[in-house]
């Protein structure tokens, strides 16, 4: 495409193959043309790029248009008429299916590749910069990255952002938005579908290995998180966006009503946690898929895997500045971000206290913002298992072990309290203690281990304080575990507390570690105990009920309707799958905007309603005015 006057109107025909190549006179952009100046292959020229149109049209030399399709494209040197070439087709995003979980069985190619990648990553130290506007920024203010299960092993350092870099990131995001927001949706989607395929294939071992050594996850926990769930997020979110756009209003005769789904103006502040690499990848990209731009602050204890995700997105073709990678301290990053008038939204997963403080800051700054920021957050949980006396005890034991201690209990959905009737308690206790005794804990490179270390020293100190409190309490006892050791890594045994006090400290407060508290209730106090379950904690994220009696299940489900945003029947309260169990909770657990669903994507869209009248009236008078 050229900005010469003679090229303002271009007609491209399906049968056209250019026979002459070269830049038109006085045009700095390469294009292909016939002697009559008709263009067969188009490139965005610098002038059009200045209009905010960049990278939207690119075809290989000699490639024909669709058979039988003529496309008329008009551009004017007048900026008011600058536009984007759109394809004359309804594109259909492939219907997604969940990424299959690989088993990493003995001697399998997947296991061999993963172990080789772990060894490779551990063999070298890396330096992780900020990425702002596509450029790597090194501030000189660095922090170390160490392996949680072997804290003597240094993986590298990362640079931390200050207010100066935050302002740079805001400017870069707003500049990138000019082209990104108007890029045809199918071109944006293509980037994230490519990212999903890269993660499913050549990047799988790298991202999983980085998660295993950087966050102390077992191979299975890394696989279901950093590979499968993130692949699902990118594929399903792309599909959900198209499903949302299909929703169009009714149009009576004489008019055409329609709605368009615009990205939010301004930028989204994505604050991601350490415990799920998939969430780290989803929070900044969900707004980007629908045309938004993000500032991404990863958790300081998970910068390592986040860095590899950033590199993957770059390989997938994500344009510079759409997502800006800004690790750093909460205050140095958060304060200038929250003070910006261009803040359009917050996509957050983390602690309740931090989220509440951010919400408070938004309220205090509301008059200075250009927009009312969309606030989406998933925070804490005090997730329960409630058993009826008709429960299958063998299955209940497995659910408790997995729900409480997978990934060391460091899931916002992890089971941390249990209510079990006296009538089945002896059988449950015996089988449960035997299973806990069989759990192996250590380096996740040893694939026989079920558990590894908690994330860092701060977590270790906080979690062990709860264990020590239980040891000293008169209304609680340690049933399993209770020991911990930080000599090599941040290791805490799977600890089970049994209490006679339904409002014991560890029944009410989020611990975020391998500590599970059980309250044994009298069978006759079933209703009273349901009330306790509903009112003990301020959280309402996940919960599970157990029983074979269908009437009891119905009653428990109704009574605990608001106690959990994700509610499980005869299952553990963890492991929500994108497209199957949209995730989020209410009360103090968050805004319940359901990650992994179209409901979440809609939060990053701003709908414009259009009404076009084909034959507008030419008389302002109404019929009722015809007589007094």
Provide the annotated active-site residues: 378, 412
Q: What angle do CA 260, 264, 265 make, to 5 degrees?
A: 120
Main-chain phi, psi angles of 6, to 5 degrees = -70, -10
Alpha carbons 456 and 595: distance in angstroms, whole number:
27
Provide the b/e sequence for 311-347 (b: ≥16 CB within 10 Å): ebbbebebbbbbbbbbbbeeebbbebbbebebbbbbb
Tokens 């701060």, located at residue: 458
Burial class of 541 by CB neighbour count within 10 A (0 to 12, 13 to 18, 19+): buried
Main-chain phi, psi angles of 85, to 5 degrees = -75, 125
SS3 content of the chain, % helix, strand, coil (to 5): 35, 20, 40
H/E segment holding residue 75: none
DSSP state of 408: G
DSSP state of 344: E
DSSP state of 79: G
Alpha carbons 600 and 36: distance in angstroms, whole number:
51
Query: Smallest Cα–Cα separation from 329: which of 303, 308, 307?
Result: 303
Output the six-digit token pair for 534: 């509903």
Give the CA radius of gyration of the chain: 28
Q: Is the separation of the CB atoms in 383 and 542 below 8 Å?
A: yes
């Amino acid at each position: 495409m050229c900005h010469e006057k003679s090229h303002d109107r271009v007609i491209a025909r399906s049968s056209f193959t250019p026979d002459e190549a070269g830049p038109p006179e006085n045009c700095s952009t390469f294009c292909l043309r016939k002697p009559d100046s008709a263009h067969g292959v188009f490139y965005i020229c610098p002038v059009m790029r200045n209009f905010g149109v960049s990278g939207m049209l690119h075809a290989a030399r000699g490639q024909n248009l669709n058979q039988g399709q003529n496309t008329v494209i008009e551009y004017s040197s007048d900026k008011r008429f600058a536009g984007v070439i759109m394809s004359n087709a309804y594109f259909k995003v492939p219907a997604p299916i969940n990424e299959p979980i690989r088993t990493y069985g003995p001697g399998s190619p997947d296991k061999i590749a993963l172990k080789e990648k772990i060894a490779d990553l551990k063999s070298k130290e890396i330096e992780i910069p900020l990425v702002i506007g596509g450029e790597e920024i090194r501030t000189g203010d660095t922090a170390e990255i160490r392996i949680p299960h072997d804290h003597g092993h240094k993986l590298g350092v990362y640079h931390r952002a200050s207010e100066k870099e935050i302002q740079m990131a805001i400017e870069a995001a707003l500049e990138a938005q000019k082209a990104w927001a108007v890029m045809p949706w199918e071109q944006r989607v293509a980037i994230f579908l490519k990212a999903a395929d890269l993660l499913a294939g050549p990047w799988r071992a790298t991202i999983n290995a980085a998660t295993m050594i950087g966050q102390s996850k077992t191979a299975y926990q890394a696989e279901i998180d950093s590979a499968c769930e993130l692949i699902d997020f990118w594929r399903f979110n792309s599909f959900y966006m198209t499903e949302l756009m299909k929703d169009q209003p009714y149009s009576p005769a004489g008019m055409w009503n329609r709605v368009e789904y615009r990205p939010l103006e301004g930028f989204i502040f994505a604050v991601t946690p350490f415990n799920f690499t998939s969430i780290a990848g989803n929070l900044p990209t969900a707004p980007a898929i629908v045309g938004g731009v993000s500032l991404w602050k990863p958790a300081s204890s998970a910068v390592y895997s986040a860095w590899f995700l950033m590199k993957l997105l770059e390989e997938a073709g994500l344009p510079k500045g759409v997502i800006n990678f800004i690790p750093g301290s909460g205050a140095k990053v958060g304060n200038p971000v929250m003070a910006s008038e261009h803040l359009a939204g917050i996509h957050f997963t983390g602690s309740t206290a931090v989220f509440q403080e951010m919400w408070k800051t938004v309220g205090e700054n509301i008059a200075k913002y250009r927009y009312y920021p969309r606030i989406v957050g998933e925070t804490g949980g005090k997730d329960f298992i409630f058993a009826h006396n008709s429960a299958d005890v063998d299955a209940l034991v497995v659910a408790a072990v997995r729900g409480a201690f997978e990934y060391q209990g460091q899931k916002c959905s992890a089971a941390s309290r249990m209510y079990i009737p006296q009538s089945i308690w002896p059988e449950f206790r015996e089988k449960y203690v035997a299973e806990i005794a069989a759990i192996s804990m250590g380096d996740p490179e040893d694939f026989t281990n079920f558990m590894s270390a908690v994330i860092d020293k701060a977590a270790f100190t906080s979690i062990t304080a709860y264990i020590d409190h239980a040891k000293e309490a008169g209304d609680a006892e340690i049933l399993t575990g209770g020991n911990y050791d930080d000599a090599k890594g941040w290791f805490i045994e799977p600890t089970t507390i049994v209490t006679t006090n339904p409002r014991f400290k560890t029944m009410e407060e989020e611990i975020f570690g391998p500590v599970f508290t059980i309250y044994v209730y009298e069978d006759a106090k079933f209703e009273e105990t349901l009330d306790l379950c509903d009112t003990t904690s301020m959280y309402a994220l996940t919960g599970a009920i157990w029983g074979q009696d269908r009437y009891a299940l119905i009653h428990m489900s109704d009574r605990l309707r608001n106690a959990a945003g994700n509610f499980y029947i005869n299952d553990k309260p963890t492991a929500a799958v994108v497209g199957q169990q949209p995730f989020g909770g209410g009360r103090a657990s968050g805004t319940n905007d359901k990650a992994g669903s179209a409901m979440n994507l809609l939060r990053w869209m701003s709908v414009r309603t259009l009404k076009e009248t084909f034959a507008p009236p030419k008389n302002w008078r109404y019929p009722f005015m015809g007589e007094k």
